[in-house]
Structure 1
């Protein structure tokens, strides 16, 4: 990896970190809830967050626009206006009762990196000229909270849109199509959000680690090597609904007990594997009551693995166990495969640039921590279009999707410097 450190002034970097922390707090106030953070796709809160973030992008020197999927983009042309762009970013949407850093930190860090790299000398010349443009993207829907489909914003950018998604509905029965129209978007123009591969140099994303690797290792930053393959299933267990008092245990075909046994089997099988995680996050009895033996129970299953083959091997083992449980308890079951995302390997070149950036931003003599991301990210979609790289920031105890998400200002400062230095290293190689 060629290139040299830019010598970014420490005082400037520290100021940017303070600004990021303050703006995370400001965005946390844009919420559909008065007691928690909740900001979902195509909502009025989404529009307000886009408007405010666009103002911050403009202050950093970028031209801004909202694309046909509701993603916010800022662009800094550093040379020819048709030059390809290095894209930086993350997402602005949240889960219900969210923390204030998941996604949001990555967007705000990217804005500050552009601000630092757009500096000019007294004669108006760029201090750090680049052979590519710089873009910041704030994806509209990574979490899938409102319509039950994750990565909608980045899928549109990657040109991976499925027209069936327009009929997805939220809890109020509003379709994605109608919500888009109400937001001021034209569903017929969704293809305009797609980017061409030759328009991009690559995509870099800074994100809090949604795990404990960095915190356990007392490291501020880490480089991501790959993003987990993921599959999600909806499983329905069918037994027989009967009177609780009048049905002996020998005659019962209890769907809830069968589903509970499946959930325990998922834990047992997953724990015995390396780099595969299985989670039953939802368990629901259909038509249940306190005095009824449950006749139908539904449960979700989320499987994540470093490699697709390992993940699928665990699913095969779980399926066999579900069949055995059903036979033993007199139950039948059905399954719907609702999500299937292959593992995404980060680009070796971008990994190298991020490692170089972390070394510059750190006083440690050790190699930067290399991490496998068990959480999904927008980089998974962008990986279908261009090369991707990710930088993780320490998050206390790995808590995420929860109000207790926490980052240190010093770590954010290191993250901004590391990402900026990564961009400079890539510019040297690209030139």
Structure 2
């Protein structure tokens, strides 16, 4: 299986050359290099004897039919778009490993269909909303068709300009029974590296709260306004930043980030009259995240009141946590153990296509260790040995699912007889 793992890595390197921006890897939704990505993967799919189609959202779907028209489908894959100046493996490795799995099982009978998914968009770079590709499979892409990019081009117009027909989006939806979706992905963080583990099984994709906090005080002369008479908006906001960090450090699994903090009027000798902050709060358990948010907002209001500052909070996004399927997770654990690998459980702090497909079918994720814990960065990397191990675990998982499904079908036939 080493040759197939090498093929998956080689494909990542080849696809990294297909970029909008010379000298870096940048590939946004429906950019011209997307056609070359589709052509490259389509050629590989044809070599594997798979049928190929591009759906109305630009997703490349390579399929091996099941033994009967009503056979369920097992889906494998990830996304092929990138952030600006990206690494070579985020998303793409999950696609190329799916093709490697299909290659390993090319001559193995399966009691279900196998469909490889190369999603056209996941990162949310061009339109500010992610998962355009996977939304098409669950029938929710219509909700964002009117959204415009920085040039005023709507999602609908971009699809049409690419030669796709939004009227055909219903045909992109998953039809018929779905056995599940398994996504292989680099961890994008340090947990597996610190644990010395090549792989991990994702328990849940963390839920998120995103907010904007506007602190309004009074700008005044920095030299002539005594400390007791100040209404310093930035001081209140700064205290909030520390409060968010303190609470996250004290709450297992919680992450809190103030990614934006600015003040006005922004002069060295003027007390800030206004400050604006963002908050990104994540946890795999919704109740924990919601309790933390309640605590932080109470603290923010108290900190503002202490300084004679008003506070306005605007929620910009709420995304519930998505627990992944226990049955598929158990299958991944058993396959890893059979390969002599301890694959610890861990949550995903980032969003992934699996969270979208989980609304329609069982979904699971297998993480590969990120050796330098870098992602969305040119230095993103993987260990070749981890890639081969992940491939072995994925193949073993598919074979186990095949055996389990075959046994269920046999039992159903006997019961019916």
TM-score by length of 2: 0.90
Q: Does 2:140 match 1:160?
A: yes
Q: For 1:12-411, list aligned pairs within 5 A.
A: 13-119=1-107, 128-161=108-141, 163=143, 165-196=144-175, 198-241=176-219, 252-285=230-263, 288=266, 293-360=271-338, 362-364=339-341, 367-411=342-386
Residue aligned with 2:330, SS: helix
Aligned pair 1:420/2:400, yes or no?
Answer: no
Distance in 1 between the 2:300 and 2:318 partners?
20
Unaligned runs of 5+ in 1: 1-12, 120-127
Structure 2 distance, partners of 1:243, 1:194, is 61
Deviations, residues 83-129 of structure 1 (Å, cap 9, x unaligned): 2210001111112222211111101000110111113xxxxxxxx21
Q: 1:73: how far off?
A: 1.1
Q: How much does 1:273 deviate?
A: 0.7
Q: 1:240 to 1:343 in 2, by over 3 A?
A: same
CA distance in 2, matches of 1:253, 1:140: 49
Write the distance in 2 (CA, Å) between the matches of 1:323 and 1:206.
Answer: 42
Aligned equivalents of 1:415, 1:19: Cα separation in 2: 14
Distance 1:421 1:300, change over 3 A: same
Using the alignment, how far apart are the partners of 1:260 and 1:50 within structure 2? 48
Across the aligned residues of Structure 1 and Structure 2, the Cα RMSD in angstroms comes to 2.3
Of 38-47 and 131-140, more deviation after overlay is shown by: 38-47
Over residues 341-392 of structure 1, what are the superposed CA-to-partner deviations in whole Å (9 max), with x where a residue is unaligned?
22222222211221222233x335xx53222222221111111100011111
SS at match of 2:87: coil
CA distance in 2, matches of 1:236, 1:49: 43
**Preserved CA contact (<8 Å) 2:233 2:304:** no
Counterparts of 1:245 and 1:333 in 2: how far apart (Å)?
A: 25
For 1:93 and 1:315, how far apart are their aligned partners in 2?
32
Cα distance per residue 1:224-253 (max 9 Å; x no partner): 222212222233333345566776655554
When residues 246 and 38 of structure 1 are mapped into structure 2, their CA distance, relative to the original with a 3 A threshold, is: farther
Shift of the 287–54 alpha-carbon distance from structure 1 to 2, 3 Å rule, reads farther
Output one character per residue of 1:159-209: Cα deviation in whole Å (capped at 9) or x when no partner: 23452x23333333333233222222333443332224x331100011111
Distance 1:244 1:203, change over 3 A: same
Flag the 1:285–1:162 CA change in 2: closer, same or farther, 3 A: farther
Q: Quote the Cα distance in structure 1 between the aligned partners of 2:272 and 2:43.
A: 54
* Structure 1 residues 283-327: Cα deviation after superposition (integer angstroms, max 9, x where no partner): 344675666554443332211112100011111111111111221
Instruction: Say which SS state the counterpart of residue 280 (structure 2) adopts.
Output: strand
Cα separation, 1, equivalents of 2:41 and 2:62? 10
Say whether the 8 Å CA contact 2:66–2:73 is kept in structure 1: no
| Aligned-partner Cα distance in 1 for 2:235–2:152 | 32
SS of 2:149's partner is coil
2: CA distance, partners of 1:412 / 1:398: 16
Cα deviation, residue 275, structure 1: 1.3
Deviating more after overlay: 187-196 vs 144-153: 187-196
Quote the residue 1:9 is aligned against: none
Is the 2:211–2:279 Cα contact (8 Å) retained in structure 1? yes
SS of match in other structure, 1:353: helix
